[in-house]
Structure 1
């Protein structure tokens, strides 16, 4: 994690209050913390379920970025399982790049509330890409 900012500066990460916590290169696992804003609340006062895909996608993207040597990723699909209501405030996500190929990486993530209870799980299929100013999507003609 030597080159990573503690607090990501792009808009989606700022909206979710994202912070990098750590990365284990051996297991390709990234850990991030998020301070979910009040604007994420549903009528029950907990986080709206679909908005939980954001922190999971962000952390899974970090796992792909770090395990691929700095390539960006595009999520091709995200499968989200909501296990319990998530209170507003801080959550942590642990994400692991499970299997990476030349273009496609399979990744998984788990979201925990402030008490450490597992609240949501996700799996995703992603495609690695070059940075926008560096050319075409990797592998394209």
Structure 2
């Protein structure tokens, strides 16, 4: 299934997103939700052989931000002010799916959430985010 047309069609993918294997899977602009695919290979593992938590946090961050960007048609982006991540289970290298949503969009503050699932559909991490709502052009970053 091809992803629906979106604000990301003509948006250059940032290098960090490319590293994470970022792929738009689905977006619902009205609901403020998004689904992103990621791929973690051996470069992402810690000594225990699981994906290092910082990479999982980056995947969650690179899910929730695009949810807001899509919902506002690219008019608002939100640099993260604060986030809280819960690591639910060890994540082995492979494919992941991030599901994000905009919880609240105020004049200056945005609240979002994201969950990350492994290839078997098991929840591996979830995060809540606070961000500053910024209007205008971004310098090639989400």
Q: Same fold per TM (> 0.5)? A: yes
**Count of aligned pairs between the two proteins:** 133
Q: Deviations over 1:52-90 (max 9, x none)?
A: 110100010101111223122200011000000011011
Name the CA shift for 1:118/1:4 in 2 (closer, same or farther; >3 Å): same
Runs of 4+ in structure 1 displaced over 4 angstroms? none
Aligned position for 2:23? 19
Instruction: Provide the TM-score with structure 2 as the length reference.
Output: 0.86
Instruction: Provide the TM-score with structure 1 as the length reference.
Output: 0.87
Instruction: For 1:57 and 1:8, locate their aligned partners in 2 and report how far apart those are by CA, in whole Å.
Output: 17
- SS of the residue corresponding to residue 8 of structure 2 reads coil
Aligned position for 2:37? 33
- Aligned match of 1:82 in 78, 84, 87? 87
Larger RCO, structure (CA 8 Å, separation 6 or more): 2
- Aligned match of 1:113 in 113, 118, 130? 118
Give unmatched runs, 5+ long, in structure 1.
134-141
Give unmatched runs, 5+ long, in structure 2.
none
Contact 1:33 1:92 in 2 (8 A): yes
Q: Aligned-pair RMSD on alpha carbons?
A: 1.8
My pick for the range that moved more, 100-109 or 21-30, is: 21-30
1:1-80 equivalent positions in 2, closer than 5 A:
1-2=4-5, 3-5=7-9, 9-70=13-74, 71-80=76-85
Name the CA shift for 1:59/1:6 in 2 (closer, same or farther; >3 Å): farther
Quote the offset at 1:124 in angstroms.
0.1
